[in-house]
Amino acid sequence: MARVIDQLWEWIVVAVGLLVVLGGVLLGLVRGRGRRTKSAPTPTRGAGGSTDVLPGVGDDATPPRDAPKRSIEDAGSVDTLPAPSDEDLPPVQPTPTLDRPDAPAGRLQRLRARLARSNTALGHGLLTLLSRGKLDEAAWEEVEDTLIASDLGVEASTELVETLRSRVKIEGTTDEATVRGWLREDLLRLVDPTMDRTVVSSRVDGRPAVVLVVGVNGTGKTTTVGKLARVLVAEDKDVVLGAADTFRAAAADQLETWGARVGVPTIRSDRDGADPAAVAFDAVKAGAEMEADVVLIDTAGRLHNKVGLMDELGKVKRVIEKQSPIDEVLLVLDATTGQNGLRQAEVFAQVVDVTGIVLTKLDGTAKGGIVVSVQRKLGVPVKLVGLGEGPDDLAPFDPEAFVDALLA
């Protein structure tokens, strides 16, 4: 009996195991069917044999083959943003008109008549005296006085009179044409055409040339710098201006206006009374960064007998030289000041090593003899002359044209 019960329990265990296995198989089949039902449908082929594109995948990129083609005319009908109207566009800024400076060559010849009118005492006066039939001692003294009055200087006047007296005595003639020829030769020798009168205006050793412009109050330094910029622009030079006159009201504005007329940038301070040496330093630095040909630095006018102001000018020079050597120092002199201008020139030359002279106001009441006297006093040439208030009335000095104008 017990044995029958044991066999019965074995069959029950086996049956339960089979039920468990069968239940697991059925559960797996049900889950697999559910996953297949949720998956994306398989694409089907249409009547034309093409595969239908699934919605949302490339339906904009690939139109059906039988879709009508769009013509070029149809393309214009597609909705687009409206074209901006003239009112929507920003205002067009007018292009600034730059001046075209006159070429430097021939400027002095063009101004010869103006120079001749202002120097009749030296030219016509001398010729009138020398063409007299008889030249006695009193006449020669009058000739010498005329030369001295024209700012030629005592030494140069005495030298010229002695040379003329010797020629008249040797040749035995006072013919006006002959005397004019002698006077031209002697004046030209005194003016000295052998001096180098070029203004350094080209790059030196891969850096811009630096030109420092100095002088006393009222000689026209800022105007001279502006006019010199025009001369250099006419020679196709790239110029940068430095407004180191920081004490005179509106000096920087004046220089900037000169530069803007010919398209030249101006380096300046935003406040009056700034350190002029710092402005000059920044101008030279900016010129190097812009790869300019030349930097022109305007300085404040100062009286030659004011020690503090002259020391400040020396500081400007030293600060610039920390950035770059100074290639040219132009001293601007008012030609009407005569012998007083020579004293000014001496003091400036001691402080900043003047390399050239700019004579302004050589027209009007100026006397041409100052060209000779200032060159002798400093041993440096007159390089530029101003003969009027026009923007192009600054001319490179030409000794022969100058002497011819005196004797015109």
User: Is 216 a known ligand-binding residue?
Assistant: yes
For the ranges 124-133, 217-226, 307-316, which has the lowest average pLDDT?
A: 124-133
Q: Is 101 exposed, middle or buried (0-12, 13-18, 19+ CB in 10 A)?
A: buried
Q: Pairing relation of β-strands 356-360 and 266-267?
A: unpaired
Go through 147-183 and write b for each residue having 16 or more CB atoms within 10 A of its CB, e for each that does not.
bbebbbbeebbebbbebbeebbeeeeebeeeebbebb
User: Is 220 a known ligand-binding residue?
Assistant: yes
Supply φ then ψ for residue 2, to 5 degrees: -65, -35
331, 345 in Cβ contact below 8 A? yes
The predicted model gives 311-337 an average pLDDT of: 92
What is each CA distance from 362 to 159, 178, 324, 378, 388, in whole angstroms? 24, 28, 33, 19, 8
User: Is 80 a known ligand-binding residue?
Assistant: no
User: Is 51 a known ligand-binding residue?
Assistant: no
Would you state the pLDDT for residue 305?
Answer: 62
71 pLDDT higher than 50: no
60 pLDDT higher than 60: no
Would you state the pLDDT for residue 229?
Answer: 95
21 pLDDT higher than 90: no
The predicted model gives 45-64 an average pLDDT of: 40
The predicted model gives 225-235 an average pLDDT of: 93
The predicted model gives 34-60 an average pLDDT of: 40
Angstrom distance (rounded) from CA 301 to CA 335:
16
User: Is 32 a known ligand-binding residue?
Assistant: no
User: Is 217 a known ligand-binding residue?
Assistant: yes
Would you state the pLDDT for residue 8?
Answer: 65
Question: pLDDT class for 401, splitting at 50, 70, 90?
Answer: confident
Angstrom distance (rounded) from CA 355 to CA 371:
15
Give every strand in the sheet of 266-267, ordered side by side. Answer: 266-267, 239-244, 294-299, 209-215, 328-334, 356-360, 382-386, 394-396
The predicted model gives 189-198 an average pLDDT of: 93
User: Is 302 a known ligand-binding residue?
Assistant: yes
User: Is 353 a known ligand-binding residue?
Assistant: no
For the ranges 166-170, 213-217, 301-305, 389-393, which has the lowest average pLDDT?
A: 301-305
45, 51 in Cβ contact below 8 A? yes
| pLDDT tens-digit readout, 375-397 | 988 899 999 998 878 888 888 88
Angstrom distance (rounded) from CA 355 to CA 258:
24
| pLDDT tens-digit readout, 266-297 | 999 987 778 999 999 999 999 999 999 999 99
Q: Of 3.90.1150.10, 3.40.50.970, 3.30.200.20, 3.40.50.300, which CATH number belongs to 209-407?
A: 3.40.50.300
Would you state the pLDDT for residue 298?
Answer: 94
- Nearest partner of 373 among 344, 397, 338, 327, judged by Cα: 338
Question: pLDDT class for 120, splitting at 50, 70, 90?
Answer: low
Angstrom distance (rounded) from CA 293 to CA 282:
16
pLDDT cut 90: percent of the chain above it: 31
Task: Please provide the CATH number assigned to the domain covering 111-191.
Answer: 1.20.120.140
Angstrom distance (rounded) from CA 344 to CA 338:
10
Supply φ then ψ for residue 191, to 5 degrees: -70, -30
**Structure letter (DSSP) for residue 131:** T
The predicted model gives 56-73 an average pLDDT of: 44
Q: Could you identify the residue written with the tokens 């697991």?
A: 24
87 pLDDT higher than 70: no
Angstrom distance (rounded) from CA 211 to CA 198:
12
User: Is 300 a known ligand-binding residue?
Assistant: yes
Go through 309-330 and write b for each residue having 16 or more CB atoms within 10 A of its CB, e for each that does not.
bbebbeebbebbeebbebbbbb
For the ranges 72-86, 333-347, 363-377, which has the lowest average pLDDT?
A: 72-86
Half-sphere exposure of 259 (CA within 13 A, CB side): 23
Domain locations in the chain as residue ranges: 111-191, 209-407
116 pLDDT higher than 80: no
| pLDDT tens-digit readout, 154-174 | 888 899 989 988 888 888 877
Q: Which residues contact 373 (CB under 8 A, 6 or more apart)?
A: 151, 152, 153, 156, 339, 342
Question: pLDDT class for 358, splitting at 50, 70, 90?
Answer: very high
User: Is 215 a known ligand-binding residue?
Assistant: yes
DSSP 196-255: --PPP-S-BTTB-EEEEEEE-TTS-HHHHHHHHHHHHHHTT--EEEEEE--SSTTHHHHH
Would you state the pLDDT for residue 93?
Answer: 53
Would you state the pLDDT for residue 255?
Answer: 94
User: Is 253 a known ligand-binding residue?
Assistant: no
Helix (H) or strand (E) holding 356: strand 356-360
Question: pLDDT class for 110, splitting at 50, 70, 90?
Answer: low
User: Is 222 a known ligand-binding residue?
Assistant: yes
Which pTM does this prediction carry? 0.73
Would you state the pLDDT for residue 291?
Answer: 95
